[in-house]
Structure 1
Amino acid sequence: MRYIEITSRSNPHIREAVTVKGKRPHKYDAFLIEGPHLLQMAFQARIVIQKIFFTEEYLSTKEGTQLLRQISRTGAELFRINRHILSRLSDTETPQGIVAMASCRPLSLDELRLRDPALLIVIDGVQDPGNLGTIIRTSDAAGVDALILLPGTCDVFMPKVLRATAGSIFNVPLVYSETGELMRWLQEKSIKALVTDVKASQNLYEADLTQPLAFVFGHEATGVTEKLKRQADVLVKIPLFGEAESLNVAISAAICMYEAVRQRTAKKNQALVQSDRTSRKD
């Protein structure tokens, strides 16, 4: 395993990484991954890892040596740095000894592979990194087909979002889309756009979530844009039984996703039982 030692903060590779950390020219051309867990998940998901910066302390661990050897076979450049340089690249108070520069090409809408029935999550202006990361992590757990990001949403590859996803960011297909383009595509695919609204007359648990659906979640304060809300096929509300006036957007997303999963699982099980009964009669 070959690597280059860097001792200067003004090294071109370090300056490039610092620039990527601060502001990327394009959202997915390059981003930083910090920590062995996220890096391992990115590697397993075949994310393109361009450069890895690590300390001698991390290299001296068994897990560190193993991970670096695995990733080095992909052609990534390896650089050993000291803790002072690492602090320039790290976004945490206690750096874990390794930071990588990676890139990820989002898919287009037409490249998505949809299950039957489709289940999509659309993000319309969510601003808090923790909320966005939690929605992505829940989307992964619920088996969502893809996450579609509309203009005005916070950077999905910023460090705080990546950490909040716990690595799920690398498991869920991502699409950047304009609102008009998305709504036309949903109509072509016969996928219903569903928006939660506290003023909606229909209850979430009364809605049919077994059909192809795209849940839309919006800005923490203002919600989904009025234009998109008017174009939605279904408006539902999550019932509130206490004194709370609303729910956090990430919580709302989790409730909606898992209600869809529950309904779809129940329908599938019911179909299996009916099929079994029919076969027994035959």
Structure 2
Amino acid sequence: MKRIDSIQNGSIKTWKKLHTKKERDKVGKFLVEGFHLVEEALKAEVVETVLIIEDITFPSGWKMDNADVVIVTKDIMQVLSETETPQGIIAVCQKGDVADIDLQGGTYLLLDAVQDPGNIGTMIRTADAAGVRAVIIGNGSVDVYNSKAIRSTQGSLFHVPVIKGDLKEWITKLQVNGVKVYGTSLHEAKPYQEVAVEGPAALIVGNEGSGVQEEVLVMTDENLYIPIHGRAESLNVAVACGILLYYVRG
């Protein structure tokens, strides 16, 4: 078991850079913090190094065989943490980006230029709960390895395949494989309860302000909307995603 006491240590400086998307993309690594997320990362076998402060002990049952363990000071933990009250444990993880998936039935979620990390994390978590086979992240969306996005997934990032790609290409692939694709829009769309969904389905939800791009909507099999019965102008995109995702999964 290794120990690091200096904030100026080269490894600490290297790991701190993982707070930026540029560095995460460059080296293919990211940080997770807190006992629950570190445990889920360990189960997914993506952990490279676990950093822990001296007065913290690992829960029994954790499999640490493939991870290096480094004891660090509270000052170092504070530097590496992006939460207000660090739990004293952080893991350095290898990104497990998925390039493709076998499109055999099931339900899929496609995200078009979603900007808020909390929203994207919540939708990945919802997709996991709904038994979605994969989440497809389109161009212009926030990085799923953003610390707030990871926390919002509550570990679901390690449970469901998350694929980054061109949504138009994926819509075509899904349709060729017999998956009906449903967009979300306030124009030229039907109330979702009026649409009978049968068989494999994919749902597309879009940017918080502008929704799904028109060039994407014209490729769908059908577009849906959620009726507003009160005085609210709209629903949060993650809330709307939850309602519609459970509906299209049948």
Superposition TM-score, scaled by structure 2 size: 0.93
Matched, 1:20 2:13: no
Match of 1:147 among 132, 135, 158: 135
* Equivalent residues of 1:28, 1:105 under 8 A apart: no
The aligned runs of 1:39-54 (5 Å cut-off) are 39-46=38-45, 48-54=46-52
Matched, 1:160 2:151: no
* Equivalent residues of 2:110, 2:167 under 8 A apart: no
* Equivalent residues of 1:54, 1:81 under 8 A apart: yes
1:28/1:138 Cα in 2 relative to 1: closer, same or farther (>3 Å)?
Answer: farther
Which consecutive residues of structure 2, in runs of 5 or more, have no partner in the other structure? none
Aligned residue for 1:251, secondary structure, equals helix
- CA distance in 2 between counterparts of 1:195 and 1:94 reads 39
- CA distance in 1 between counterparts of 2:151 and 2:24 reads 21
Deviations 1:218-261 (A, max 9, x none): 11001111110111211111111112221110011000112234
Which consecutive residues of structure 1, in runs of 5 or more, have no partner in the other structure? 265-282
Superposition TM-score, scaled by structure 1 size: 0.83
In the alignment, what sits opposite 1:254?
A: 242
Larger radius of gyration between Structure 1 and Structure 2: 1
TM-aligned CA deviation for residue 150 of structure 1: 0.7
- CA distance in 2 between counterparts of 1:177 and 1:208 reads 28
* Equivalent residues of 1:49, 1:100 under 8 A apart: yes
The aligned runs of 1:107-186 (5 Å cut-off) are 107-109=98-100, 111-112=101-102, 114=104, 116=105, 118-186=106-174
Deviations 1:183-211 (A, max 9, x none): 33123212222111122342201112222
* Equivalent residues of 1:112, 1:146 under 8 A apart: no
1:121 is matched by which residue type in structure 2? L
1:44 is matched by which residue type in structure 2? K
In the alignment, what sits opposite 1:70?
A: 63
Among the aligned pairs, what percent are the same residue?
34
Match of 1:93 among 53, 67, 84: 84
Deviations 1:141-169 (A, max 9, x none): 11111100111000101110111111111
- CA distance in 2 between counterparts of 1:8 and 1:149 reads 38
1:43 is matched by which residue type in structure 2? L
Question: 1 or 2, which has the higher helix percentage?
Answer: 1
Matched, 1:103 2:94: yes
Aligned residue for 1:200, secondary structure, equals coil
- CA distance in 2 between counterparts of 1:164 and 1:106 reads 18
Aligned residue for 1:70, secondary structure, equals coil
* Equivalent residues of 1:126, 1:153 under 8 A apart: yes
In the alignment, what sits opposite 1:38?
A: 37
1:86 is matched by which residue type in structure 2? M
* Equivalent residues of 1:192, 1:213 under 8 A apart: yes
How many residue pairs get aligned? The number is 249
In the alignment, what sits opposite 2:187?
A: 199
* RMSD, aligned α-carbons: 1.7
TM-aligned CA deviation for residue 65 of structure 1: 5.5
In the alignment, what sits opposite 2:211?
A: 223
* Equivalent residues of 1:130, 1:160 under 8 A apart: yes
Deviations 1:24-52 (A, max 9, x none): 25188100010111111122233x11111
Aligned residue for 2:196, secondary structure, equals coil
Match of 2:197 among 209, 224, 235: 209
TM-aligned CA deviation for residue 113 of structure 1: 5.7
* Equivalent residues of 1:122, 1:215 under 8 A apart: yes
